[in-house]
Chains A and B, each alone.
Chain A
Amino acid sequence: MSHTLLSGNEAIAHGAWEAGVLVAAAYPGTPSTEILENLARMEGVHAEWATNEKVAFEVAAGASLGGARSLVAMKHVGLNVAADPLFTIAYTGVGAGLVVVVADDPGMHSSQNEQDTRNYAAFARIPMLEPSDSSEARAMALAAFELSERLDMPVLLRSTTRLSHGKSLVETGERQECRGPAYVKRAPKYVMMPGNARRRRIDLEERLRKAADESERSPFTVAEMRDTAVGVITSGVAYQFVREALPEASTLKLGMTFPLPEQKIRAFAAAVERLVVVEELDPYLTSRLLALGLPVEDVGLSHIGELSPGAIAAAFGVEPPETREIFTDLPPRPPMLCAGCPHRGVFHALHKMDAVIIGDIGCYTLASLPPLSAMDTCVCMGASIGMAHGLERSGGAGERPVVAVLGDSTFAHSGLTGLLDAVYNGGASTVVVLDNRITAMTGHQDNPFTGRTLMGETAPDVDIVAVCTALGVADVSVVDPNLLRPTEKALRAAVAAPHVSVVVTRAPCVLLTKEHPDPFAVDEEACTACGECVRMGCPAISRGRDSKAVIDTTQCVGCRQCVQVCKYGAIVRTGPSCDFKGRS
């Protein structure tokens, strides 16, 4: 018996591989990204980055029609994008097994909001499994394909950050080859026009009844009777927190959380004196148990953010342990744009132009922090262009230029339709596509504009300029954002134009470059402590003696952006950084 230490994401990939998955598609998103990255390296799997989650879902659904066990993975907000196919694929059902992996991010470690995907399973009426550690993640991924085929339904496998990025021991198995029947036309099942859809709607209820039976029998739902004074119903990682915090309590760990196993829940409830539900995020289980008329006791756990063993223990009146001194007034350490990040120059210019910067999601969102403070909004992927167009239409920005800013991956994800809309409707806003040749924020994934696929193959080198031109943008320019003056010039020309214009700022993500030019240093004599370079927000630049600028040569990558803002010629090239680089 060999146990391997796997993250939840690695375990999900492995379980799917064991199930014989043939096609997998996803759009990256923390904490789900590594599922596809792992599948891409596994024998016999075709894995691809889709342009967005809706497309990824549709690719997997189509592959399932063709008899291939298929998987689609995304972060929680990705399911909003993919919700449209989800709700109707619930009606059509599947060909071969179709598993939808969605990773939530309680506490918003790397997300713009906190949603509880469990609601989607109930809303779209598809079965859902919730693993509590990597071992279950593997086993459930494997079982999900079988379940999907038995029920003729897509199955949702719900993860959270602590599962996806937590590691624990897993016993893995071999791959089963499992190709389903080839595609056959079945229009009444797959063409969802009203007449067919009404029949499938009724059929869906029948399939859900079978799913409820499966839930009653699920080996992943386990009642552990210990002291019956307190009985806790829980699922996912919250189960581990409960075991840690209340080692004596009886537990009912629900593995399949939609549909719920009503009999098992009633039996457990009847066997304990106090019945408590411990769940992260929404009162998903609580509300359903209350609707069953069960006496669920509210111990006051928060519905916001992550749970922890300590939070649960406290809710049950356990005194917290003694702790050491808590340091107050420490400077916070938010993430920041890297030294040499090509995005920096763009925001420096936009800030100078007093533009209203309608932002989007990516590394560049970090430009919203001081000292750049160069972003007015960040909502969801692709939102920048439509919102900029709307703001411009409202007239509310007065004389200030309105500029939408989004990355290359975000542009492919959902910027194209917004841009077409603005052109169609005669808008005048400016769109900046920050083309750093990669999807950086989520850890450097390829996208349609990088010329490579997830499997490492060469892809058609789709040109952003040609795409914009084809969408009807009259005015498209390309600049190197590391050159500040030309960048500012291009931006000023674009905002002056009476129609939609696009500026593509093109320079590779600094983390993609291995060899850097020699660093720069500050000539103390020449520096007047004006602070212009410090306001670039570069991690390598700080204020030293007499408030003069200091460059940490171990961090400087020689991008020359600060050299261009210094009016006094005080930033000069030095030899290679001799001592430690400091970061590994």
Chain B
Amino acid sequence: MPGGMSGVVTVMLVGVGGQGTILASDVLAKVAAATGLDVKLAEVHGMSQRGGAVDTVVRFGDKVFSPVVDPGGADHLVAFELIEAARWLHFLKPDGRLVVNSRLIAPLPVLTGEYQTPTGIEAALAFEGAVFIDAEELACEASSPRSANVVLLGAMSVGLPFSETVWRDVLSRRVPAKTVEGNLAAFELGRQACAKGACEL
């Protein structure tokens, strides 16, 4: 296994530019650091943020070398969008955990009719053991649709070895002061939804 480091956990967050994957990965990385672990985060800014596919990787453990992983290297895949979940699925280890936002955002080639809207992705992902979260709906329930990324963060947190207090602490410090309450509510709804959806495998 390349990645011979035992004890390093790899979380991959994928989605569409503008969905807030960067904030979510930043919170996760800071939670790991606050827990006393070594951590590395890889993200790409720039062009892809204009509605392109984005991926970020957070790795934590006693000692982390590489900031990125190869196919088959992620322990957790958190997809903010259905097509992106499918695009990155092979990065998830066979026994890894898959959390998927059940929202499809049509990419440009679909909008223009060059490609068909892919069908059957949800079923295929369900077969792969995905836990689906309706993040936008829960975010609206909690505060505003803008906190969908924090709902997914809540869902993701259920499967990770960090205390809820640290999550809430780091999250409160990372978001704008006037949105703290709404984001904490979104985080909580994400957690609950995941627990209900048998997120802990």
Give chain A's interface residues, CB within 8 Å of chain B. Answer: 3, 5, 30-31, 33-34, 109-110, 133, 161-162, 165-169, 237, 240-241, 243-245, 247, 308-313, 318, 320-327, 329-338, 363, 366, 369-371, 441-443, 534-535, 537-539, 541-543, 547, 554, 579-584
Contacts and interface: CB of A to CB of B under 8 A. Distances in A.
B35 interface: no
B72 A323 contact: yes
A535 B110 CA distance: 12
Interface in B109-131: 109-116, 118, 121, 124, 128
Contacts of A327: 86-87, 89, 121, 124
Nearest to B89: A324
Interface stretch (B42-50, B157-165, B188-196): B42-50
Contacts of A338: 50-51
Given A166-B41, A327-B87, A331-B107, A583 B52 contact: no
A309 B43 contact: no
A554 B137 CA distance: 13
Given A541-B111, A542-B111, A582-B145, A166 B67 contact: yes
Given A321-B93, A323-B90, A336 B52 contact: yes
Nearest to A321: B72
27 contacts: A5-B33, A5-B41, A110-B46, A133-B40, A162-B68, A165-B45, A166-B42, A244-B2, A244-B4, A245-B66, A247-B4, A247-B5, A309-B3, A318-B2, A322-B72, A325-B90, A325-B128, A326-B89, A330-B118, A333-B53, A334-B108, A334-B109, A335-B49, A336-B108, A579-B145, A584-B19, A584-B145
Interface string B125-147: 00010000000110110001111
Contacts of A584: 18-20, 139, 145-149
B33 A543 contact: no
B112 A5 contact: no
Given A240-B66, A313-B2, A580-B140, A537 B47 contact: no
B29 interface: yes
A576 B42 CA distance: 37
B125 to A, nearest CB: 10
B107 A580 contact: no
A240 B103 CA distance: 36
B44 A109 contact: yes
Contacts, number: 233
A5 B33 CA distance: 7
Contacts of A312: 2
Given A542-B110, A584-B145, 13 more contacts: A5-B41, A169-B39, A245-B2, A309-B69, A309-B70, A321-B72, A321-B93, A327-B87, A335-B49, A370-B108, A543-B113, A547-B113, A584-B139
A584 B18 CA distance: 6
A401 B52 CA distance: 32
Contact of B45 (A331, A370, A443, A583): A443
A370 B114 contact: yes
A245 B47 CA distance: 30
Nearest to B64: A168
Nearest to B103: A582
A331 B40 contact: no
A30 B111 contact: no
Given A534-B113, A542-B106, A325 B89 contact: yes
Given A243-B66, A324-B94, A584-B20, A330 B83 contact: yes
Contact of A168 (B41, B45, B68, B94): B41
Given A309-B66, A310-B73, A162 B29 contact: no
Given A244-B65, A330-B118, A584-B145, A162 B42 contact: yes
Contacts of B48: 109-110, 335
A442 B52 CA distance: 15
Contact of B145 (A241, A371, A442, A581): A581
Contacts of B70: 308-311, 320-321
B7 interface: no
B50 A363 contact: yes
A291 to B, nearest CB: 30
Contacts of A323: 71-72, 90-91, 94
Contact of A371 (B26, B71, B112): B112
B2 A310 contact: yes
A171 B50 CA distance: 34
B92 interface: yes
Contact of A326 (B66, B90, B112): B90
B1 interface: yes
Nearest to B80: A584
A30 B136 contact: no
B16 interface: yes
B119 to A, nearest CB: 11
A539 B111 contact: yes
A443 B32 CA distance: 28
Contact of B3 (A109, A244, A332, A336): A244
B30 interface: yes
A161 B50 contact: no
A322 B94 CA distance: 7
A535 B108 CA distance: 11
Closest CB pairs A-B (n = 5): A310-B70, A110-B46, A580-B145, A313-B2, A30-B46
B112 A534 contact: yes
Nearest to A577: B145
Nearest to A168: B40
Contact of A335 (B51, B94, B105): B51
Residue from B20, B111, B124, B140 having most chain A Cβ neighbours under 10 A? B111
B109 A332 contact: yes
Given A162-B42, A580-B137, A331 B115 contact: yes
A547 B4 CA distance: 52
B4 A583 contact: no
A548 to B, nearest CB: 12
A332 B68 CA distance: 22
A167 B57 CA distance: 10
B67 A168 contact: yes
B75 interface: no
Contact of B44 (A165, A247, A322): A165
A336 B48 CA distance: 9
Interface string B1-18: 111110000000000111
